[in-house]
Amino acid sequence: MIKKNFSFNLQKVDGTARIGKIYTRHGEIDTPTFMTVGTQGTVKSVFPEDLITAGAQIILANTYHLMIRPGVDRIKRVGGLHEFMNSQLPILTDSGGFQIMSLSKLVKIDEKKGAIFNSHIDGKKFILSPEQSIKIQKNLNSDILMVLDECPKLSFDKNKIEKSIKLSLKWAERSKVEFGNNHNKALFGIVQGGIYKDLRLESLDGLKKIGFNGYAMGGLAVGETQKQMFQVLDEVVPFMPKNKPRYLMGVGTPSDILGAVKRGIDMFDCVMPTRSGRTGLAFTWEGRLNLKNSKYKRDDTPINENIKIRNLNSYSKSYINHLINSNEILASMILTMNNIIFYQELMRKIRFAIKNNTFDVFYKKYINVI
């Protein structure tokens, strides 16, 4: 039964790896979970119903992209993003802070007004305040909303990062006020602070005082090493609320996910499985395959003979290599679907291992393979 109110139930812990369940008005989400990215209201080259068949339980869309194109009024007019994109899976909307930093050439940060920037599409000027970001996400009618934070580029300037987290905490409080009391939706705070433990804990402490439905780790997977990322998780995750979902934003590779689950993270998102599918890369349990490589010209075996969804096991590596080299759209469709299925299977196997107290065995078996 679908629960109307948002909630999270931590079910079991194996070491520091956790399994749980998130309840939303659009369905239940088993954690650890991987959110397939549908930035602009679509997971590229995949039908919404195929996502469900593949095992996806939640998708991610982006405030920045949708406010620019097609515009929030157009989506609100039909009832929200679920209706607009013909998907009834739960949806998390990112606030747009990272995209403002990464895509806009000229960005001005004003504490009161918010982020002032020009569209990377047509140069049109936009002003996105914490309040406006929440209003847009409400109009998109997503299930999980994110606060607007300042997401600076990778920097080791501690003073700059400290100023940024103080601003982000003020914006987080304003986001919470604008969100109000809405029990059938959730608002997540975002922990910033670069690679500095004291700044991360300062950010987290401030967010906990405000109070959120979940807590995300932002500002990682932006250029630091995997070792640095794991060190930040080791230092900060133990202080995150145990009874709230923990979300590592923008991560990542299968080994990133394994390492982060080992450290107590519950939620992930990344464009890697879909973007890789469009560039000829397939994820498998034996490692990654670059199907553009000429060695696959005479390989008549499928990527995975066990994947029967959309009859993917009927397509040979030789044929897919031909499609890639001919720039045929079907190559992207096959590989993207393969990768989405792999990521969802990875999460299912992780949850099964935690449930059976065998996560460390699973981790050691695959951490250097996939």
- Positions annotated as catalytic residues are 94, 269
- Helix 197-210, helix 226-236: angle, nearest 10: 50
Task: Check: CB of residue 204 under 8 Å from CB of residue 191.
Answer: yes
Report the relative pairing of strands 287-290 and 281-284 from DSSP bridges: antiparallel
Task: Check: CB of residue 237 under 8 Å from CB of residue 248.
Answer: no
The SS3 of residue 31 is strand
Task: Check: CB of residue 24 under 8 Å from CB of residue 143.
Answer: yes
Quote the tokens at residue 158: 């501690």
Cα–Cα distance for residue pair 331/315, rounded to 1 Å: 10
Task: Check: CB of residue 51 under 8 Å from CB of residue 340.
Answer: yes
First vs last C-alpha separation in the chain: 35
Of the candidates 113, 104, 96, 139, which has an alpha carbon nearest to the alpha carbon of residue 249? 96
- Furthest C-alpha separation in the chain: 61
Q: What's phi and psi for 292, nearest 5 deg? A: -75, -20
Task: Check: CB of residue 341 under 8 Å from CB of residue 274.
Answer: no
The SS3 of residue 195 is coil
Neighbouring residues of 257: CB distance < 8 A, sequence distance ≥ 6: 32, 34, 251, 268, 346, 347, 350
Cα–Cα distance for residue pair 73/66, rounded to 1 Å: 10
* DSSP calls for 208-247: HHH--SEEEE-S-SSS--HHHHHHHHHHHGGGS-TTS-EE
Cα–Cα distance for residue pair 132/290, rounded to 1 Å: 42
